[in-house]
Amino acid sequence: MDQLFIDSVQHSFGSKVVLSNVYLKCDVGEIVGVLGRNGSGKSTLLKIIFGAISPNHKHLKIDGQLVEKGFLTQQIAYLPQSFFIPPYIKLKVALALYTNFYRQQLLDLAIIKNQLNTKIAELSGGSRRFVEALLIIYSNAKFVLLDEPFSQLSPQLIEELKIHIKAMLPYKGFIVTDHYYQQIVDISSQIVLINHGCNYAINTNEDLILHGYLPNR
């Protein structure tokens, strides 16, 4: 079936309802772009899918199987907004931990090959972000959640990252969220906007203006 499906997501922080009846579907070979204003609940939605946050209600299925916590299935990998690999870990150790099937593809890359004995903390901020994103993209997980993968990256690295995402597309489904909305529009096969806790399918830039995501000029 190769499908991730989440439905009826309801979550609130205290009395503030963040997500209400949100629905999302991602097939292998598909990139779902999630857009939304600051605080709209994009990251919360990804964390709920991953299993790091327990919502008030959700219905998550991977390949037709009901799942309680996504990460326990090892079918979902998540790139958080901030660095997640401890700084004292060497790149070769991180590579051994997170990759298996696609390790050789990473070992062929200069940024990995030349720095295998380098500690993560010794990489520059952009390189560290790029390497962490690569480790997640080339992990064994079938579904990859990327939370602001393009932030901290130079335009050149952004283009490179997009190439890697597309290279793994035949084997994986991606859910990507970022404030660089043009990058999301460029790579996504479907776009979803989270607004006032609900999700809306987006087909054109006019839809983004209509829902108040882009300014009306």
Interatomic CA distance for residues 191 and 45, integer angstroms: 15
Is residue 97 close enough to count as binding another protein by CB under 8 A? Answer: yes
Is residue 181 close enough to count as binding another protein by CB under 8 A? Answer: no
- Strands of the sheet containing 143-147, edge to edge, are 76-79, 143-147, 173-177, 31-36, 190-195, 198-202
> Which of 56, 68, 88, 125 is the binder for another protein (CB under 8 A)?
88
Q: Nearest CA to 48 among 19, 27, 84, 28?
A: 19
Min dist CB 156 to another protein, Å, is: 26
Nearer to another protein among residue 98 and residue 181 (C-beta): 98
Min dist CB 202 to another protein, Å, is: 28
Binding mask 136-175 for another protein (x = CB under 8 A): x--x------------------------------------
Stretch that binds another protein, among 2-10, 87-95, 153-161, 169-177 (CB under 8 A): 87-95
> Which of 50, 130, 138, 174 is the binder for another protein (CB under 8 A)?
50
Is residue 77 close enough to count as binding another protein by CB under 8 A? Answer: yes
Nearer to another protein among residue 86 and residue 212 (C-beta): 86
Interatomic CA distance for residues 200 and 194, integer angstroms: 6
Q: Which residues bind another protein (CB under 8 A)?
A: 50-52, 69, 71-74, 77-78, 80, 84-86, 88-89, 93, 96-98, 136, 139
